[in-house]
Structure 1
Amino acid sequence: MRRLSSESAVLTDEYAIRIGRWSQYAGSEALPFGAMWCVVPPGGSSAPDHHPEVELAVVVGGRAAFAVEGREPEPTPVGTAVLLDPEERHVIHNLSDTEPVTLLSIYWLPEDPAAATAGDVEVARDAR
């Protein structure tokens, strides 16, 4: 077992927040996905972002809100996972003026970008 903690991760400034890429951990290159810790400072927000990967962002600490595709920010409590489609524009807001928000971001390139989107997953789930 390996323990990968956001509290001991080496963080760098990227996207107007602090990022701890999992490439810093031995053996992470064997994982079938990329991952990083994201720390949004108190009262702060990430820079607007979009990318070709599918992203699963899990709020592990703090009071977050996600604004997706220019919509109003939606509160996203601890324990909530947000699944973002490729190229879906998003911003992460910290709703607290005193505590940081910590996220675990897991991302991967879809096997077939035209067919494999988070929206398709939702449709398939609803069809059951």
Structure 2
Amino acid sequence: MRRYVSDVAELTEEYGIQIGRWKQYRDLGALPFDAMWCVIPPGGSSAEDVHPEVEFAVVTRGTAVYEAGGEKVEVPTGGVILLDPEQRHVIHNPSPEQSLTILSIYWMPQVDSAEPDGAGRD
């Protein structure tokens, strides 16, 4: 059993927020996904981001407000947001006092290969 905590992660400045990529945990080996901690200070926001990966983001501390396509969605602690590939988004921390922490898990979407002629037909 292994335990990873955002409070002691090595963070760098990326996308206008603090990021802790899971590559820092060398004992994990190869995973079928990438992950990172995202820490946004009180009242802060990320830069707009867009990427080819699917993103599964779990709010682990605070409340996040995700903005995408003109829509804003509030995600409380323990909530999850799923972002599609190429979906432009910004993350806001509406709290004036508490940092927001998110565990972002992301991966390249699987490409469905075309079925051979006649496959799957009755």
TM-score range, shorter chain: 0.7 to 0.9
Give the Cα separation in 2 of the matches to 1:95 and 1:49. Answer: 18
Q: CA RMSD in A?
A: 1.4
Match of 1:96, as an amino acid? Answer: S
Shift of 1:55: 0.3
2:39 is matched with 39
Kept after mapping to 2: 8 A contact 1:70/1:90: no
2:53 is matched with 53
Aligned residue for 2:23, secondary structure, equals helix
Shift of 1:68: 1.3
Give the Cα separation in 2 of the matches to 1:29 and 1:41. Answer: 30
Between the two proteins, the alignment pairs up a number of residues equal to 113
Kept after mapping to 2: 8 A contact 1:64/1:92: yes
Aligned residue for 1:23, secondary structure, equals helix
TM-score for both structures, normalised by structure 2: 0.88
Larger Rg: 2
1:13 is matched with 13
Does residue 84 of the first structure (1) align with residue 83 of the second (2)? yes
Give the Cα separation in 2 of the matches to 1:56 and 1:113. Answer: 20
Kept after mapping to 2: 8 A contact 1:70/1:89: no
1:66 is matched with 66
4+ long deviations beyond 3 Å: none
Identity %: 58
2:96 is matched with 97
Give the Cα separation in 2 of the matches to 1:88 and 1:65. Answer: 15
1:125 is matched with none
TM-score for both structures, normalised by structure 1: 0.84
Shift of 1:113: 7.5
Give the Cα separation in 2 of the matches to 1:67 and 1:51. Answer: 15
